[in-house]
Structure 1
Amino acid sequence: MSAPSAFDVRAYMRDPQVLRPAEIEPHVMGTLSAPALDALTYLWAVEGTVLGQMRDILITPTHAESRTTAFLSTWSYEQYWLAETLHTVLAANGRLPQTPIDTALGRLRRAWDDRARPTVDAISSNLMGANVVGAHMVTGWLDTAVLTLAYHRLGEIEPVLRGLTEAITQVKDRHLCFYAEEAGTRLARSATARRIARTTVTRWRFPGTRYAGADPARADIFPLFADPASRLALEKITQTATAFPGLTRTRPVHHQCAPERRHVPSR
């Protein structure tokens, strides 16, 4: 008999943490610095990719995992409203956000993803079976961990955003708990799942860089990680990732989050 799960998916579904535009504190409107707006614009673009992420996951055997799909149904609802709230903050500060422009390689990747990848991935992942789910859980954890750190740092750099960023990190913390528990359980019980996850993690990219490349992230997000405390936090993310079964000595975050030498003013 398997051990009982610590993460209560039913309770999570009954009580989503939804951030709505109407709940934004008035002092956030029209007061944000340019670096903060740049970071929020990037984060808005990433948080708004819910449909694409759901497509990538649900064409695989993960869609047959009732616990995972139940979680994702509420996760997507929370993500939708998070993106809407960020859009409202940006608009109130005179920023009409747009997603980063695709690179030439990114345009090819997008065409592949839209036309061929769903079929190819569906065939290959179904051959792997349920062992692919562990890899999805690890990459979900990685994406969420680095974004949570970005929100935390943004709240430190831009104090008027602290209430909003703290609310967002609370949402993200529950996501992290689910991903970590599922990844640990699934990787521990299958050598094939560990092999697939290891390959997937070595190919992991920072959220939002698949089509636009790394330059927008380097310009708008990585400066948030420039201080020593953030570097330590990134190292902790790496250490946690390598602690998942089968992922020893993988360092997916280490080489991707080096900030450019750009001053981010504190307020």
Structure 2
Amino acid sequence: MAFDFDNYAETSEAVRWSDLDFDVFDDMPLDRDTLRSVRYMCDVEYHTTCFVRELLVTPSHREDATAAFMTMWNREEFWHGEALAAVLEKHGIHVDYDEVKAKRASLGWKLALGPAKQSILANMVGTDFVAVHMAWGAANELSATAGYRRMSAMQDHPVLSPLLERIAKQETRHVAFYTTQARERLEGNSRAQSFVRMALGKLWKPVGSGMMDDAEVKHVMTHLFSDQTDELDKLDKRVQKLPGLSELRIFRNAFAGLGIE
């Protein structure tokens, strides 16, 4: 799916939830495992604002469309966090954005690339780094969208499910942007393809890894994707459609590393 940036810029907005009756949670509260997953998602969404600054000082900031997109993407992700925090608040779980920001602010982009970051970045310049950024973003957003839709289907809740579908709908536009950008930067560029294969193949893990304790990552991903290997295969096929990435199986491999097969 190609990305229409002008349309995105004109229609980007905070996810709506004021029309949803959150008082329904009083009679239909979420179970503990679901609340644990919602809290995880909330922290991940809030965390976006903490590493946007790091991304904007990489070669990505030199690209007008990329820099402009990240500004609006950051705003939408923040409101996803606000919506999920409101769900948690109805269950007596208070999430303080400033506390999350203070805890995560120093971590930045290094979370995504992990301990091998320095060796990879040292050999990347210009658009080759941007290709990694865009492909990595596509994988993250595919994972997030699948997680929201999976939880929506699992719960079939009159308030939570429509909220998650609204968030997932915005996430699909993020997928479209990252995928379009990645495809353009990988097409005919064997060097960029090599960097992206190395980065995704060796370093990519489910969204939230590095930010959350390993036990928390495993719990949430097992809660959402246990017995969902077909879904993981579908996600891998989306990544494999990008130029030069046909052999990658990042989702199946990363989840197998968590014991989810």
TM-score by length of 1: 0.80
- 1:73 alignment partner, SS class: helix
Amino acid at match of 1:11: N
Q: Name the structure 2 match of 1:29.
A: 25
Residues 112 and 34 of structure 1: CA distance in aligned 2, closer, same or farther (over 3 Å) = closer
Residue of structure 2 aligned with 1:253, choices 247, 251, 254? 251
Q: CA RMSD in A?
A: 2.9
Superposition deviation, residue 129 in structure 1: 1.2
Amino acid at match of 1:90: L
Tell whether the 8 Å contact from 2:33 to 2:223 is kept in structure 1 after alignment: no
Superposition deviation, residue 125 in structure 1: 6.4
Q: Name the structure 2 match of 1:9.
A: 5
Matches within 5 A, 1:103-182: 110=107, 113=110, 124=121, 128-160=125-157, 161-182=160-181
Task: Indicate the percent of aligned positions where both proteins have the same amino acid.
Answer: 27
| 182-191 vs 204-213, greater mean Cα deviation | 204-213
* Aligned-partner Cα distance in 2 for 1:25–1:256: 37
* Aligned-partner Cα distance in 1 for 2:10–2:25: 31
Superposition deviation, residue 84 in structure 1: 0.7
Superposition deviation, residue 86 in structure 1: 0.6
| 251-260 vs 36-45, greater mean Cα deviation | 251-260
* Aligned-partner Cα distance in 2 for 1:124–1:220: 30
Amino acid at match of 2:226: A
Superposition deviation, residue 53 in structure 1: 3.0
Residues 250 and 12 of structure 1: CA distance in aligned 2, closer, same or farther (over 3 Å) = same
Residues 15 and 248 of structure 1: CA distance in aligned 2, closer, same or farther (over 3 Å) = same
Q: Name the structure 2 match of 1:243.
A: 241
* CA deviations over 1:174-231 (Å, ceiling 9, x no partner): 111111111111100322211221121121121111143432111123221123xx32
* Aligned-partner Cα distance in 2 for 1:42–1:155: 15
* Aligned-partner Cα distance in 1 for 2:76–2:190: 33
Gap runs ≥5 in structure 2: 98-103
Q: Name the structure 2 match of 1:55.
A: 53
| 40-49 vs 11-20, greater mean Cα deviation | 11-20
The number of equivalent residue pairs is: 242
Residues 94 and 221 of structure 1: CA distance in aligned 2, closer, same or farther (over 3 Å) = farther
Superposition deviation, residue 23 in structure 1: 4.0
Superposition deviation, residue 256 in structure 1: 2.3
* CA deviations over 1:83-105 (Å, ceiling 9, x no partner): 01111110111123489xxxxxx
Gap runs ≥5 in structure 1: 100-106, 262-267
